[in-house]
Amino acid sequence: MVASGPISLMYGTRCLCTSVQPDNIQFFVGTASLTEGNRIVALEVRRSASSNSIVEKARYDVEGEISSVSSLPSAGSSDLLATIGPGLVKVISFDNGRFDELSQYRAEGKPRSVDWCNSKKLLAATSTHVDLLEVNEGALVKTERIERDYITVSRCDSNGGGSRAAIADLDDVSIFDLRMDLRKPTTTLKLKRILELDFNPNRSNLLATGGESGQVEVWDLRRGDIPVSRYYSHSHWVRSVRFNPLHDDLLLSGGTDGVVHLWRDTGITISDDSVSVFDSVAAYPEHDDCIYGLSWSFADEFAFSSVSYDGRFVLNFVPAHIKNEILLS
């Protein structure tokens, strides 16, 4: 099976996420044009024995840029998306090829990221604060606010009910237990200019970071401020990092150099106390602009996609020999 190659969405893009429906590989892409109308596009992969084709299944027009989009992992028979753009957080459902807006929340500040914690709670980050929003009878209600000097991104740990959040500021990454007093983080990593974060979905003590240093690092939050892995393959900033949702040893990264890197850490599954060592297994130099979004597929754990600001969407797969090694191990 081979990928069909890149397709152009004709609009600048900064974000994407996977559909959580198991039958077909499907992704949602949010556009961020400064001059044209924007939209969420549902892209579906039609597979055959020899090739794949990528088709636009539906689109949903919105006002303003879409800075971030997140899909609820346990949404059931329909997809539930959260988006953030200038001044607005939205929850949107997708069912039977149709988008429907369910609720919205007025957000203050420059939009950064949105992330589901669980079916009732999500994080909405702007440049100056992170709002913890609760889905209450169809409405989005702010229950807590965490203020910082200059936020770049915030992510929730979906493992264990979404009780923990990581927030990147200019000079550090702060970890908060959302069940406790939010005036003080439980852990702080002294990292400068981090642009993206991702919790390992199966081992919440592991946090991946990427930023202006061009490094991809993995941290064990129980072991202090020394990373367990550090890699330098990107020639410029890292804008996106994503752990595979099922296989702890696979990690994607992408950045302003236009390259997606696939990493395999064979030590990460052996022992919580072992030092992780990544092997770079593949590089995908298929973008001509900054890669802002990466997503693994829910329907096929070895498929993933990337989007760049010039509107290019690319579908790829983990190399067959790596896939076979993982399945046979």
pTM of model > 0.95 = no
Please report which residue ranges of the chain form alpha helices under DSSP H. Answer: 320-328
- Scanning the structure block, which residue is given the tokens 């990454």? 173
Backbone angles phi, psi at 200, to 5 degrees: -65, 125
Say what percent of the chain tops pLDDT 90.
74
pLDDT at 267 > cutoff 70: no
Taking 90 as the threshold, does the pLDDT of residue 308 lie above it? yes
> How many Cβ atoms sit within 10 Å of the Cβ of residue 74?
10
**CB burial string 281-295: b at 16+ within 10 A, e below:** eeebebbeebbbbbb
DSSP string over 305-319:
EEEETTSEEEEEE--
With 60 as the cut, is the pLDDT of residue 270 above it? Answer: no
- Least confident span in 162-166, 202-206, 252-256, 262-266: 262-266
What would the CATH number be for the domain defined by 7-328? 2.130.10.10
- Residue 27's identity, in one-letter code, is F
pLDDT of residue 229: 86
DSSP 8-state assignment for residue 320:
H
SS3 helix, strand, coil % of the chain, rounded to 5? Answer: 5, 55, 45
Name residue 29's amino acid. Answer: V
